[in-house]
Amino acid sequence: MARSDHPQHLSSSLTPETLAVAAGRPDRTPDSPLNVPITPASTYVAGGSLEYGRYGNPTWEAFEDVVGALEGGRAVMYASGLAAAAAVLSLVPSGRAVVVPRHAYNGTVALLRDAARRGHLEVREVDVTQPRALVDAADDAAMVWIESPTNPALEVVDVAETAAAARTRGALVVVDNTFATPLVQQPLALGADVVVHSATKLLAGHSDALAGVAVAADDATYELLETYRRLHGATPGALEAYLATRGLRTLAVRFERAQDNARRLVERLAAHPEVADVRYPGFGTVLTFEPVGGGVAAHRVTTASRLVVCATSLGGVETTWERRRRWEGEPHTIPEGLVRVSVGIEGFADLWADVEQALAHA
């Protein structure tokens, strides 16, 4: 299949909603399928551009073409979001510093701390509720890692402002765009060098595939990210690539519907007597709340739901929730009773009825 940064037949002025549907399709020749098929292959007949299964796969390429079109760069697909993060962190020269929000995804922070413990790099964890915290820590740093909104504190930073300031200090700017998605925020257009996603979440959207992707603004960075995929062997399966692409086609409708449910849930929760604190950045499909009764009440509520699934992860069509501090690795600055809710696309009346009955167990 022909590869290009931006599918040749598509205009670059298309909206994200349209690109999600139209990018990454096979050429329009008679009898060609509308979707790039699943290609399970560990090796290919020699002499072409693919050669071996760890180097490339047409089904990955379809996903990469869609995400690349949506984010405005060149995408590399990985086996998971954390595999994408690991590849991006491999861009950091030995011994140099990485600035990261203390409430970035806990796997990302764990990866950075492990690298720091082994002397590979220095990690500077900052509180992004303080203005310019990322920028103030960026002197001599090789990379500024932005996650906005953060998971699960839902803190938001100004990506354009942070990227501009970090770049004048010579740092590579990376944005984990998992929560916002390119529908809300396109970090490369805001000055970032690399975008990372856990495609496991909203991009794939159906809780049935682990996948990650990194998108580079320039060719040199793209080549490195592709090289690290080969060297680390962090390759997705062809089935996962197919599922992720298929999920991505409906990103806009899923996102709009789930966001609408999330906004309504925020209003209802904020008015509920058992609920102390509701956090929501004003957009997106994830919110948090704390029951008045703290950690014990949060445990009771999240295990009393019948429709809402008590489960980790987020971004699927079904609403899930969990008490985040049930995880050892969760920072202790996250309250004991904080419940993270990933809002799905169910009918709102059913959703609220279940949340309300669960809150009665607080």
Positions marked catalytic: 54, 105, 176, 201
Residue 115 C-beta: closest distance to ligand PLP, Å: 16
Q: Is position 198 an interface residue for ligand PLP (rule: CB under 6 A)?
A: yes
Residue at token pair 């929501």: 280
- Binding segment (CB under 6 A) for ligand PLP, from list 31-39, 91-99, 163-171, 194-202: 194-202
Q: Judged by CB, which is closer to ligand PLP: 212, or 247?
A: 212
Q: Give the nearest distance from C-beta 263 to ligand PLP in angstroms.
A: 20
> Binding to ligand PLP by residue 210, rule CB under 6 A?
yes
For residues 156 and 349, what is the distance between their CA atoms, to the nearest angstrom?
Answer: 29
Q: How far is the CB of 236 from ligand PLP (least distance, A)?
A: 10
Rg of the chain (C-alpha set): 21
Q: What binding mask, one character per residue, do residues 89-118 give for ligand PLP by CB under 6 A, x or -?
A: ----------------x-xx----------
Q: 275-279 and 286-291: which strand pairing?
A: antiparallel
- Min. distance of Cβ 198 from ligand PLP in angstroms? 3
How far is Cα 343 from Cα 208, in angstroms, rounded to an integer?
17
Contacts to ligand PLP from residues 145-164, by CB under 6 A: 147, 151
Any residues with CB less than 8 A from the CB of 36 and at least 6 apart, and which?
1, 24, 25, 26, 58, 59, 61, 62, 242, 245
Interface with ligand PLP, residue 80, by CB under 6 A: yes
Cβ atoms of residues 23 and 69 within 8 Å: yes
326 secondary structure, DSSP code: G
Number of neighbouring beta carbons within 10 Å of residue 356: 13
Q: Which spans of this chain sit near ligand PLP (rule: CB under 6 A)?
A: 80-82, 105, 107-108, 147, 151, 176, 178, 198, 200-201, 210, 212
